[in-house]
């Protein structure tokens, strides 16, 4: 009460005191270096002694190892990830105003902080009940990252019977070593009660913040930046401070590409690998509903995530004619997938469909290609032969006045396939050369720590010596990432760019509108699958569909780094919206014939 200085961040005078005696602002949760001064009459009359926080005593007792919690580790990972996104050009407000608010809300909902009785405090109370000799050995509240705001009152020391029994079971049955305070309890936690934090969920947090800010980064691009190591995810624990002891079960929580052989089950290794699009996407929607977030900002036509904008981007990257954009806009308007209510995320609303913006735009382009070229391994080649003949007979002057050469599907297929094979081979080689072993040594128990450190130092010394003898140069730094994986320039004289090619050979004018010469269309599926267990609207098998259709799906599958079946689902959904009336008529006609 006697400390009346204003906070440096929010200019408020609303101070609280942690268990360690440190001052923090209750308004903005800023922690300052000032500590509480207590008058100690037993030691010396009329003298003041500045208290030392319990965390420092714990640090001294544990040989410089800080007692840390799992939520602090994930908070560090999120901090590094959002800083990497800021370096890529994301709005700086996303870190403090959006992602920080989401994280605080999650900590409060999961009862890890910002509540009267955090879950870790219950563990502390249980340990105090068990040990009555050493009071200073209680774990300190997580305050290292200066983001967790905890209550001043210690609350009632009585605990739930269920929670106490679960903690006792963990302490009795688990013999796996853990560097964090709540590592073993975190593994045994019931997922039904709280949404347990995982490494893929850190990407869900980042994508949710990007979507709230309506940043021009899709989920597929976010995962591509992660796989290309521009955003910390693999071995992100290397950014932890040195006084964070990371071992045992902590490795299972924070490692993303590693094989674990735990002591209690050495025959069943735990394997984690690349982040999966579906997992990150579903966790983001589950997380938004768990946090009770309001309706996200509207996705309008001027927003980058709108299908019209994304279709333009993917048409350029797929080296397709610019005239196709008019057709994609017509399909978007006809099906209603460009409406604000359809695109905007409303957490907890089960009636609305979960929109994958990048996959949806790619599916629109596939539907347009089927409308114009049919993609049945026959009709597109006939159109290509016709366009090739017209291009040979026409002069340069005629092509200039007619809007460019006719688009040849066969030539486009050959050019794109060659470039796609080169890119895929280069990507496979980079992944094969990458050293998955992290720079920071890992150990599963205190006994093996000295051996692991000694071996790692020996390996580093040998690598340096062989590097000097062989004269190998250091690897060049990676260039900044680009939104386009495949680039095509119209200045090339080899004709490998098809952006300016014309579609006049496959279009005809009817009633003042350009329509496709092809009157036919084949559906990927007549009836969509409604089973929730399936998880897909339609099943995709490569042998059951034409090769041209499979190649187009494979192209966008490479650009988005997802499975072709995901794009196939969106194609089926758009087709049923586009041909809804005809499908209803056919179903009614078939039922009448059966009767």
DSSP per-residue string spanning 6-48: PPTTT----EEE-TTSEEEETTT--EEEEE-EEE-TTTSTT-E
Within-domain flag for 383:
yes
pLDDT at 338 over 90: yes
Q: At what angle do helices 219-227 and 199-213 cross, to 10 degrees?
A: 140
Within-domain flag for 447:
no
pLDDT at 265 over 50: no
**Residue 539 CA to its chain's centroid (Å):** 25
Within-domain flag for 41:
no
Going by pLDDT thresholds of 50, 70 and 90, the confidence category of residue 120 is low
Question: Which residue, 523, 211, 530, is CA-closest to 356?
Answer: 211
Rounded CA-CA distance 389/401 in Å is 18
Average pLDDT, the chain: 76
pLDDT at 78 over 80: yes
pLDDT at 423 over 60: yes
pLDDT of residue 133: 38
Average pLDDT estimate for 359-387: 93
Average pLDDT estimate for 374-397: 84
Tell the residue number behind the tokens 């924070």, with chain if given. Answer: 254
Total structural domains in the chain? 3
Of the three residues 293, 320, 345, the one that is the final residue of a domain is 293
Rounded CA-CA distance 396/494 in Å is 15
Could you count the other beta carbons within 10 Å of the beta carbon of residue 129?
A: 12
In angstroms, how far is the first alpha carbon of the chain from the final one? 85
Going by pLDDT thresholds of 50, 70 and 90, the confidence category of residue 81 is very high
| Mode of pairing for the β-strands spanning 15-17 and 258-260 | unpaired
362 and 314 in contact (C-beta within 8 Å)?
A: yes
Tell me the per-residue pLDDT of 471-508, one tens digit each, with 9 for 90 and over.
Answer: 655 555 667 788 888 888 766 656 688 988 888 878 88
413 and 532 in a single domain? The answer is yes
Residues sharing a CB contact under 8 Å with residue 191, sequence separation 6 or more, in sequence order = none
496 and 348 in a single domain? The answer is yes
549 and 405 in a single domain? The answer is yes
Within-domain flag for 392:
yes
pLDDT at 158 over 90: no
Residues in the chain, total: 595
pLDDT at 123 over 90: no
Could you count the other beta carbons within 10 Å of the beta carbon of residue 409?
A: 23
Tell me the per-residue pLDDT of 3-50, one tens digit each, with 9 for 90 and over.
Answer: 778 887 777 888 888 766 778 787 777 777 676 665 444 444 444 444
On the 0-12 / 13-18 / 19+ scale of CB atoms within 10 A, 394 is middle
496 and 565 in a single domain? The answer is yes
Going by pLDDT thresholds of 50, 70 and 90, the confidence category of residue 122 is low
pLDDT at 166 over 60: no
Going by pLDDT thresholds of 50, 70 and 90, the confidence category of residue 54 is very low
CA–CA distances in Å: residue 258 to residues 149, 175, 271, 526: 34, 21, 6, 43
Question: What domain range is 215 assigned to?
Answer: 67-114+176-187+194-293
263 and 175 in contact (C-beta within 8 Å)?
A: yes
Going by pLDDT thresholds of 50, 70 and 90, the confidence category of residue 164 is very low
| Dihedral sign from CA coordinates of 379, 382, 384, 390 | negative
Rounded CA-CA distance 459/588 in Å is 73
pLDDT of residue 560: 94
Token duo for residue 563: 């499975």
pLDDT of residue 83: 93
pLDDT of residue 592: 35
313 and 285 in a single domain? The answer is no
89 and 201 in a single domain? The answer is yes
pLDDT of residue 162: 37
With pLDDT > 90 as the criterion, what percentage of the chain qualifies?
35
Going by pLDDT thresholds of 50, 70 and 90, the confidence category of residue 457 is confident
Within-domain flag for 499:
yes
Rounded CA-CA distance 554/413 in Å is 12
Within-domain flag for 129:
no
203 and 230 in a single domain? The answer is yes
Tell me the per-residue pLDDT of 198-256, one tens digit each, with 9 for 90 and over.
Answer: 899 999 999 999 999 999 999 999 999 998 889 998 877 777 877 777 777 777 788 76
289 and 326 in a single domain? The answer is no
Rounded CA-CA distance 287/418 in Å is 41
311 and 275 in a single domain? The answer is no
498 and 569 in a single domain? The answer is yes
Of the three residues 249, 265, 293, the one that is the final residue of a domain is 293
Within-domain flag for 358:
yes
pLDDT at 329 over 90: yes
pTM, entire model? 0.76
**H/E segment holding residue 571:** helix 564-578
Question: Which residue, 526, 527, 524, is CA-closest to 545?
Answer: 524
Could you count the other beta carbons within 10 Å of the beta carbon of residue 231?
A: 25
pLDDT of residue 403: 63
pLDDT at 443 over 50: yes
Within-domain flag for 104:
yes
Of the three residues 263, 293, 323, the one that is the final residue of a domain is 293
Going by pLDDT thresholds of 50, 70 and 90, the confidence category of residue 262 is very low
Q: Poorest-confidence range of 82-86, 107-111, 244-248, 357-361?
A: 244-248
Q: Poorest-confidence range of 173-177, 282-286, 424-428, 585-589?
A: 173-177
325 and 366 in a single domain? The answer is yes
3 and 109 in a single domain? The answer is no
Tell me the per-residue pLDDT of 522-561, one tens digit each, with 9 for 90 and over.
Answer: 888 877 776 665 667 777 888 889 999 999 999 999 999 9
pLDDT of residue 318: 94
Rounded CA-CA distance 314/555 in Å is 11
On the 0-12 / 13-18 / 19+ scale of CB atoms within 10 A, 28 is middle
pLDDT of residue 141: 39
Q: Which residue has the higher pLDDT, 418 or 7?
A: 418
């Amino acid at each position: 009460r006697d400390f009346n200085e204003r906070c440096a961040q929010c200019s408020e005078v609303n101070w609280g005191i942690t268990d360690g005696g440190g001052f923090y602002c209750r308004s903005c949760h800023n922690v300052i270096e000032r500590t509480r001064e207590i008058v100690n009459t037993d030691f010396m009359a009329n003298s003041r002694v500045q208290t030392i926080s319990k965390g420092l005593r714990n640090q001294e007792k544990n040989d410089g190892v800080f007692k840390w919690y799992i939520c602090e580790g994930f908070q560090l990972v999120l901090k590094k990830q959002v800083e990497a996104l800021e370096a890529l050009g994301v709005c700086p407000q996303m870190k403090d105003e959006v992602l920080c608010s989401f994280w605080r809300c999650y900590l409060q909902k999961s009862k890890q902080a910002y509540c009267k009785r955090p879950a870790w405090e219950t563990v502390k109370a249980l340990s105090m009940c068990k040990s009555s000799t050493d009071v200073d050995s209680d774990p300190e509240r997580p305050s290292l990252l200066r983001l967790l705001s905890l209550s001043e009152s210690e609350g009632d020391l009585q605990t739930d019977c269920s929670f106490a029994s679960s903690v006792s079971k963990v302490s009795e049955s688990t013999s796996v070593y853990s560097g964090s305070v709540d590592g073993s309890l975190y593994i045994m936690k019931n997922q039904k009660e709280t949404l347990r934090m995982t490494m893929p969920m850190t990407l869900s947090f980042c994508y949710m913040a990007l979507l709230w800010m309506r940043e021009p980064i899709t989920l597929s691009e976010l995962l591509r930046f992660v796989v290309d190591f521009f955003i910390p995810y693999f071995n992100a624990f290397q950014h932890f401070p040195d006084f964070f002891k990371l071992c045992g079960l902590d490795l299972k929580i924070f490692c993303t590409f590693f094989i674990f052989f735990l002591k209690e089950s050495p025959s069943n290794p735990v394997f984690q690998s690349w982040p999966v699009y579906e997992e990150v996407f579903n966790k983001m929607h589950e997380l938004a509903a768990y946090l009770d977030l309001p309706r996200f900002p509207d996705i309008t036509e001027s927003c980058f995530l709108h299908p019209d904008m994304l279709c333009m981007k993917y048409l350029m990257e797929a080296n397709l004619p610019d005239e196709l954009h008019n057709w994609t806009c017509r399909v978007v308007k006809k099906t209603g997938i460009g409406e604000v209510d359809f695109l905007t995320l409303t957490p907890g609303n089960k009636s609305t469909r979960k929109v994958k913006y990048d996959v949806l735009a790619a599916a629109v382009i596939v539907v347009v290609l089927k409308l114009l070229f049919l993609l049945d391994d026959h009709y597109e080649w006939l159109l290509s032969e016709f366009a090739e003949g017209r291009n040979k007979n026409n002069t340069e002057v005629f092509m200039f006045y007619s809007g460019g050469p006719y688009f040849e599907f066969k030539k486009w297929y050959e050019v794109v396939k060659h470039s796609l094979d080169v890119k895929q081979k280069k990507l496979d080689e980079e992944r094969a050369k990458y050293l998955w072993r992290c720079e920071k040594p890992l150990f599963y128990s205190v006994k093996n720590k000295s051996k692991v450190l000694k071996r790692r130092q020996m390996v580093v010394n040998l690598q340096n010596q062989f590097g000097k003898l062989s004269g190998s140069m250091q690897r060049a730094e990676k260039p900044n990432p680009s939104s386009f994986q495949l680039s095509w320039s119209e200045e090339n004289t080899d004709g490998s760019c098809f952006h300016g090619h014309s579609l006049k050979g496959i279009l005809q004018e009817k009633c003042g509108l350009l329509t496709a010469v092809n009157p036919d269309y084949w559906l990927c599926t007549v009836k969509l699958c409604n089973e929730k267990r399936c998880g897909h609207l339609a099943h995709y098998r490569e042998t059951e569909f034409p090769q041209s259709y499979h190649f187009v799906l494979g192209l966008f599958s490479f650009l988005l780094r997802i499975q072709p079946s995901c794009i196939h689902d969106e194609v089926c959904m758009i087709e049923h919206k586009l041909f809804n009336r005809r499908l209803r008529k056919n179903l009614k006609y078939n039922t009448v014939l059966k009767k």
